[in-house]
Structure 1
Amino acid sequence: MSAAELTEYQRLVRTLSDRIVEAQIPIRVLDAVKWTDSLRQGFFAAKGKALPAVDRAYYENRPLGFDAAAKKQEFQAIERDITRYMGQFSPVGQIMRRMCKEYRMVVRMLEARGTADFGLISQDLYGSATDAFHAGDPTLADLGLMLSRYLDNIDRRSDLKDEPKTLNSNQAVELLQSRLDQVFGVGGNVIQVFESDGIVADAAAGADYIKIRRDALFNQRDIRALEVHEGLVHVGTTLNGQNQPICTFLAKGPPSSTITQEGLAILMEVIAFASYPTRLRRLTNRTRAIHMAEEGADFIEVYRFFRSQDYNEEEAYTQTSRVFRGSTPQGLPFTKDLSYLKGFIMVYNYIQLAVRKGRLEQIPLLFCGKTTLEDMRTLRQLVEEGMVIPPKYLPSQFADLNALSAWMCFSNFLNHLSLDRVEADYANIL
């Protein structure tokens, strides 16, 4: 759809949407909160007995790369114009105004690096480990402990050990590129996979690429998980958002969409049989570590927790620094890593309810860009109005609503069974 084909109203939405996309470009949260490698070297030089030297001054010496006050004013001006030109109750206007508010909060959080406010704003944006899903339900911390107990039972088996990591980064790039070409197009024309020296994680996704850490090792199961999580979900939803002719804001994700997108990625791993116990253990340990930090544990205590979970020294440091990045080694944690389990539960429940109520057409819309669960009803209306187009790239598990709805129908029924009663009844046969 060309600009000439848009109505006056559609051009207005596109203009305001483009302003949001443009305004958020310099905001790079993970770059702003990351710790330098010198901190790692210092920690191990002290044999893990001294806290990393991170305080307010540490972050002040690492500028954000933009004027925080001016950036907040810019988003405030966009928000005012959305109300001025679209009114208070326009559904698409409400989505864009919320995005502006979230981005202002993100800027405030980054301004507060190294202070107590950083962790408090992080909890507002991403949640806390003590948050319940619904009144009277278990918290994220409870979920982490429960899953850990299940995983402990699995760990006692000797036949479920991880496959050895025998694939180097070059082989991983080749295998992952081949898999993604089958979905997105041959030869890396849509998604490019390449090696990188500049990342901490084994892999990281961008708008149309996936970077593989040059010194990392992988197995076939890792490649499958990367294909599903980073490729089909993270890059796929970005490309679908970039394909939007009017609501271009769907190509970019504020924190509320991070929770939905990470939850969708974990759900995809599960239903594609790409996940495995060690990968799930990593998510539960991060949740438990964040809870520890929220309860007052410092960097060394959380580091020792990861060591007790059989992480080597380097990996334990990496995981602990994820918890405290942006904060201080004795401060409140950066809670973004709660998004995985929190988002999984929320997205799973949403799909269950959509199937129960017969609203299957809303499920694929999760992939039309960087969506947020609370916007799904509005997005369906926007699709009907021609303001949003359905996703171009959709994983087969979500393209086949017959199979997905059948699975969820059984799941809805099984949720009504008492697992404690089932366990008692099956005691003599299991």
Structure 2
Amino acid sequence: MITKTHKNKKVLKQGMLDNVMRQFDNAADIIGLNPNIRKILEVTNNELVVHFPVRMDNGEVEVFTGYRVQHNNSLGPYKGGLRYHPTVDIDAARALAMWMTWKTSLAGLPYGGAKGGIQLDPNKYSIAELERITRRFTYALGDNIGPELDIPAPDVNTSSQTMAWILDTYMSTKSPNERSKNMHVVTGKPVGAGGSEGRDRATGFGVFLTIKFWAESKNIDLKNKKYIVQGFGNVGYWTAHFLEEEGAKLIAVQDAYGSIINENGISVESLLAYSKANKGSILGYNGAEKIDNTEFFGLDCDIIIPAALGNQITAKNAPYIKARLIAEGANGPTDVEAEKILLKKGIEIIPDILCNSGGVIGSYFEWLQNRNGEIWQLDEVMQKLEKKLKESFTKVMLTSIERDVDMRTAAFIIAIERLEEAYTQRGIFP
């Protein structure tokens, strides 16, 4: 069963949760958020922890722990990804769910925020085992997800294939005449299974667009600008792909296996091909040299794109950063103390809830198409995505100037004020 949370703020503050709560508190203080609404927004609505057994290929049974945290749904159904990673726990899910609430609110979507996943290293399991794990997790979640209730999507170490397994499992629990009504229970599906054209690149395209919009606002030409990317999965690759088309130069990449550099530039497509042929690893790529991971964020470049996990830029490595811009492709990659150091150095940050919101906007487009029985072409999806992100970026920049605050605080102010307006107009039951 889902349990209601009754935790106070002090108990909530741990790790990434500490970051998101401090970001929230800062913006809430600036706008003088209604104290009653503040109490609602600083805790999650529902939290689900499930333990479920799965038979492995060798016949043995392993028990897994899965999470789904639903933070807020005052603006619409809960929305957020599912990740498969050893760092997944209840606190991480709480933090990520809160960020999703701010992200969907900032984007002007009819969604709330949720997040979850399974605590595991997917590299240790076969495809057949991952399918059984995913299906059993979906069954354990039961009716706590649904197309008008809570809509999962891909995240770290999950993919369109993962979503297809969830869709099939969820639909198999429904009667035949209900199945066609549940195609939008997840987004990020393969195109052949009800997915949307362009959803695969939506997050990375959004990161690229926010960088482009920022550059245009500063009259900066991206051609020949040097950038580095942490994480060369879906987000990191597509961001680099579009930046390369713009003439920018990728000089270094870091992934879970190590870091590589080539001051003369790394071919994005060549590195992708190498990575695919080497089980996702970039190490050994002959177009670059290996460097120590501790050197990565201090490299001489113009733009840093953290597109992996949270808390990667900290007070320890922030003093060495030379870039002019950090574009947060990941969720929560910069901790609060690091941000203070960076802003003092004049380094600008495009915050995660704006920078990587292309993914959830793309998910919204897929959800709409499934719901309305429509199929949009790729160019239409990309045009709509660019228009939506331009609106969000412009609002954040204007608020940043009007309030004399950094971009993250401006983004939080816009997101929180939209939620405050909803609660003020609707009231609180009973």
TM-score (norm 1): 0.24
Tell me which of the two structures has the higher relative contact order, counting C-alpha pairs closer than 8 angstroms and 6 or more residues apart: 1
Larger radius of gyration: 1
TM-score (norm 2): 0.24
